[in-house]
Amino acid sequence: MYLITIEGGDGSGKGLATKVVSEVMRKEFPFVSVSVTGEPRRDHPLGRLAIDSVRRKTTTPENEAGLFAADRVDHSHGWILPKLEAGIGVVSERNIHSSLVYQGIVGGLGINRVAHMNSAALVPDLCIWVDCDPKVALSRIKSGTLRAHSDKEEYFETSVLQEQIREGYKKLLSGEVEMPTPFDMGAIIGPVLNEGSEEDFRMKLKSLIRNFMHSKPEPVNVRSEEVDKNLVRSLIKSSRGQSTLEGLGVKPTVREDDWLCGEAPWRVLKDFQANHSQVIGNSPDSERIDVPKHVLSHSISSICGTLSLMRSADIRELRRSLGPVRSVSERHTQTIVSYLNRKLGCIHQHKSLIGREAPRSQMKEEYRPFGRLAISIWPLKEALIKWQKKNPRTHLRFAMGQIVKSGNYDSAINSTIERISILGSGSSKFEAPTNELELISWWSHSSG
């Protein structure tokens, strides 16, 4: 979902930074997975052409820049973009900013010219700028340790050029010169100085990537909604592919076509909210229940919705299935799952494999309608919460009609209709809505 790039001069520590950043993303955040790459691509014909053009110096600077651009555009759309669309995080050692510095500033082509040549490439969501004194960097490059892990022959290994490269990064990434369009859309962090201990460098990087991820910026290259719909499709496909509950040998009884179980969507929401409110209201003052009051809150709707599409999952598997859009922290996920199990009674936990420590959670069949409904109306959950607060005495079945007629949620409404087409209408007697009027009818209907 996010493209994170690591930039800096040769020997500055980009390889270590790439490793650290990818590890933090993989361990601490709920991406489907995290892929590591780099540019130019040594294992691809276009990348090899770009590398050879630098090593042999047999072409003009503009042609050289063109080869790097060709490799980048192919890499962007053939390899990186499909991963971002699938909810995978990508960390790249070098990307567009390398060309802007190496060919645009140091090579003399100009950053606007190089940016134009790369204009079809993806824009990094975040560029982490690693900085290091060129003397220290060259010492690393020439050391046996670095030589054993990286072929640096194609790079500019002279102190004069390394100083120019460092100055180029400073001008471009510090804002001294204006970042060309469209590459001014992403965030830049740095310089992250790498002249001290490795542990100090690691700690700086971990703090920076955590701060970025916790801010939850909207991705530059993909729409969050499209990413989440792709993950929902994947969950549905995986769920339908299972014939028995993992480790139990019990055949699942999920109602794929009639998941609303004969109830209108508004009633499914109302009943689940009523149960939730009653549990919270009946809890003694001495017993703190650290869960949101509304069932369409991000955490409850995310976890219930995801579990409704899964046969069974432990916390780690559940969080991975939440994906980056429906993500909930590990601690809060455990809190919500415990509440749903012990207080609300809508899931049960079991140990599916002998000797396995982590319990696995399975949503009870009678509560799956709410879970699937939460996924269906995910884009409108905040609108529905706001409507209920504003209209506490108005019947919930009128909510969808009034939200649609307000004209304030066109994009969310279209996304909801698309989600219902993925999940199905919930009733074999009722078609999935294809427009706003049909969505209103779907919300208030009863298939029983």
pLDDT digits (tens, 9 = 90+) for 266-275: 999 999 999 9
CB 107 within 8 A of CB 156: no
Q: pLDDT digit string (tens) for 392-407?
A: 999 999 999 999 999 9
pLDDT at 147: 43
pLDDT at 357: 59
User: For the residues 425-442, what does the mean pLDDT come to?
Assistant: 94
365-390: burial string, b at 16+ Cβ within 10 Å, e else? eebbbbbbbbbbbbbbbebbbebbee
Q: pLDDT digit string (tens) for 12-33?
A: 999 999 999 999 999 998 888 9
Q: pLDDT digit string (tens) for 201-232?
A: 999 999 999 999 999 899 999 999 999 999 99
Q: pLDDT digit string (tens) for 235-283?
A: 998 877 654 444 444 444 445 789 999 999 999 999 999 999 999 988 8
The whole-model pTM stands at 0.86
CB 348 within 8 A of CB 285: no
Q: Say which range, 58-72, 102-116, 233-247, 396-410, has the weakest mean pLDDT.
A: 233-247
Nearest Cα to Cα of residue 102 among 40, 191, 28, 189:
40
pLDDT at 247: 45
pLDDT at 223: 96
- Give percent above pLDDT 70 in the chain: 90
Q: What structural domains does the chain harbor?
A: 3-222 (3.40.50.300), 225-444 (no CATH)
